[in-house]
Structure 1
Amino acid sequence: MENHPQPEEVEYEGLQTQSLGVNMLAGALAGISEHAVMFPVDSIKTRMQVFSAASSGSSYTGVVNAFSRISSTEGLRTLWRGVASVIMGAGPAHAVHFGMYEFVKDLAGGNQQGHHFFATSIAGAAATTANDALMNPFDVIKQRMQIRGSTHTSVLSCARTVYRTEGLAAFYVSYPTTLLMTVPFTAVQFTTYEYFKKVLNPSNTYSPVTHALAGGIAGGLAAASTTPLDVAKTLLQTRGTSTDPQIRNARGMMDAFKIIWAKDGLRGFSRGLTPRVLTHMPSNALCWLSYEFFKVAIGERSSWTAL
């Protein structure tokens, strides 16, 4: 009988320096998985962060209260309104995100033995800068569709309305604030993830439990530490829907901070903290779990094809 060579087993450690294309494809699939699954909780977070008309606080008193009221008065489908925008943006944005992360991390020596906090932080910051440039307009559309009373029925109609009534600047008015939030968010997230991944899995083998656990811890810490900036971002991204002239005329992060402080004091900066953490812990765990899985799966397929 003729002997056919068997595909060689692909070591997970060797996949850490996969091609840019593999990292980008894995990142795109991971990003879509992450955002789609946790979207309803993200919708609740947005509702809790938006200042209600003629009131200093949110009309929702907590996650359970928000879920109960939305589902009973508007239907559960409302919690998924705007998910198409996230799916459309998350794929290419996360492809760029993870591709840039792996490229810069390797360039800065982050794939060498030991813990490299500086390399992973720099890589994370570079990744989120590129990611947010693509994702910001989609995030604006998503939040416009998530708010209470939104009449937008599709991503395209929402984009057209925002552009017609507020101009192109409306899609990027929150970009500086988003960067000021996501750069430290991503630095904390990636550094924490890489640290716990190495602590929990020193042999650096493919371990779904390790990837999920490290990802969840990293997501929770990053989300909690950047919530004040997220509140400001939401205010800026939904300003065009407000009847409050001060909110409608907010031009940037400092204006947003002043409005939040004036209307709700210190506690205003923690609005949506619980659903934000509840969103990012499992979604980040899923994101890293998906990313590491797709990286291995695509890498193995590429290796077998090359044989």
Structure 2
Amino acid sequence: MSDTRPIPFQYQFFSGAIAGVSEILVMYPLDVVKTRMQLQVAGTGEVPYKSMFDCFSRIIKQEGLGRLYRGINAPILMEAPKRAVKFSANDKWGEVYRSWFGVTYMSQPLAILTGATAGVTESFVVVPFELVKIRLQDKTSKYTGVVDVVRKTVQQEGVLAMYNGLEATMLRHATWNAGYFGIIFKIRSMLPEATTKTEKTRNDLISGTIGGTFGTVFCTPFDVVKSRIQNTVKVAGVVPKYNWAVPSLFTVSREEGFMALYKGFLPKVLRLGPGGGILLVVFTGCMDFFRGYHFSN
């Protein structure tokens, strides 16, 4: 039987932070490949990546293995607050909605609503870090590091430019979290109840992986336009080609075809599917540890 007794916020924060950093250390090269594929625009004269494997191969051959980890400082700095906010906000919003609707137990529609709201909450934390990461991952990037991106962006575009892509990020996180937490709720209800730690880990890995996969299907189009919006350096008096999420969706679809909205899908789903499983296993494991520590003292 799973112990679900509530524990103080700081334990949720540290559990989310540990889970997020664990996931990114394992999965980051897939994120670099995903971003490279998303930033490719037809008709620019560049030889397009034929596949995820072609992208991996060309990056390693032309730029070196270390390039697959370029920009990792930004997401590592981001992952602790991002994942901590994701899980703690999901728990807190769940409490709020159960109180508002006068229900005791979580349902799947409530899990979807809670996940979407947590995703929007999370977006305000992650946008500046995402912008730095995207600009460092770009093949043509001239930035020397995290500080250089922040300094030049603020100098050339203003402080608020660090929040370019906020709208697209909110839509991306709302759809991913809604799919992730909604599917986790459903899959957990279908799996046999765990009676041992091994069975609990198995259930978390299965439900988290499936949840991450579905969340990726829903959010990838918003992720594609988010990457392009955040990689666009704004110039005074010039309207950016990629500026707002919904118009950018139509621009990409019209100019490159609907499937262009799913560029980088394979490395993204390979990261966020199994990555979602890793997140859930590490998070629940940490929560169980902290819960045991808290109630034993």
The structure 1 residue matched to 2:293, chosen from 276, 283, 301, is 301
The structure 2 residue matched to 1:12, chosen from 2, 23, 46, is 2
| Counterpart position of 1:62 | 51
| Counterpart position of 2:226 | 233
Written as runs of structure 1 = structure 2, the 5 A alignment for 1:170-185 is 170-185=161-176
Q: Distance in 1 between matches of 2:161 and 2:47?
A: 23
| Counterpart position of 2:281 | 289
User: Structure 1 pair 194/281, CA: closer, same or farther in 2 (3 Å)?
Assistant: same
| Counterpart position of 1:3 | none
* 2:18–2:80 contact (8 Å) kept in structure 1: yes
The structure 2 residue matched to 1:143, chosen from 110, 113, 134, is 134
The gaps in structure 2 that reach 5 residues or longer are none
Q: Distance in 1 between matches of 2:161 and 2:107?
A: 38
| Counterpart position of 1:152 | 143
* 2:32–2:137 contact (8 Å) kept in structure 1: yes
- Quote how far apart the aligned CAs of 1:181 are: 2.0
Q: Does structure 1 residue 76 correspond to structure 2 residue 68?
A: no
| Counterpart position of 2:90 | 101
Written as runs of structure 1 = structure 2, the 5 A alignment for 1:20-169 is 20-52=9-41, 54-55=43-44, 59-109=48-98, 112=104, 116-169=107-160
User: Structure 1 pair 128/197, CA: closer, same or farther in 2 (3 Å)?
Assistant: same
SS at match of 2:141: coil
* 1:224–1:276 contact (8 Å) kept in structure 2: no
* 1:198–1:204 contact (8 Å) kept in structure 2: no
- Quote how far apart the aligned CAs of 1:122 are: 2.3
- Number of residue pairs aligned between Structure 1 and Structure 2: 290
Worse-superposed segment, 75-84 or 153-162:
153-162
User: Structure 1 pair 161/53, CA: closer, same or farther in 2 (3 Å)?
Assistant: farther
- Quote how far apart the aligned CAs of 1:39 are: 0.8
Q: Distance in 2 between matches of 1:233 and 1:197?
A: 31
* 1:12–1:205 contact (8 Å) kept in structure 2: no
SS at match of 1:108: helix
* 1:132–1:179 contact (8 Å) kept in structure 2: yes
AA in 2 matched with 1:232: V
| Counterpart position of 1:220 | 213
* 1:144–1:238 contact (8 Å) kept in structure 2: yes
Q: Distance in 2 between matches of 1:104 and 1:257?
A: 29
User: Structure 1 pair 36/116, CA: closer, same or farther in 2 (3 Å)?
Assistant: same
Q: Distance in 2 between matches of 1:221 and 1:29?
A: 23
Which string of whole-angstrom CA distances, capped at 9 and with x for unpartnered residues, describes residues 259-299 of structure 1?
31343122211211111111111111110011001101111
* 2:204–2:281 contact (8 Å) kept in structure 1: yes
Q: Distance in 2 between matches of 1:175 and 1:47?
A: 20
RMSD (Å) for aligned C-alpha atoms: 2.4
The gaps in structure 1 that reach 5 residues or longer are 1-10
Q: Distance in 1 between matches of 2:153 and 2:27?
A: 25
AA in 2 matched with 1:174: G
Q: Distance in 2 between matches of 1:44 and 1:147?
A: 10
AA in 1 matched with 2:202: V
Q: Distance in 1 between matches of 2:90 and 2:196?
A: 20
* 1:56–1:264 contact (8 Å) kept in structure 2: no
| TM-score calculated relative to the size of structure 2 | 0.89
The structure 1 residue matched to 2:243, chosen from 251, 254, 264, is 251
| Counterpart position of 2:202 | 209
Q: Distance in 2 between matches of 1:58 and 1:258?
A: 24
Worse-superposed segment, 178-187 or 254-263:
254-263
* 1:32–1:90 contact (8 Å) kept in structure 2: yes
Larger radius of gyration: 1
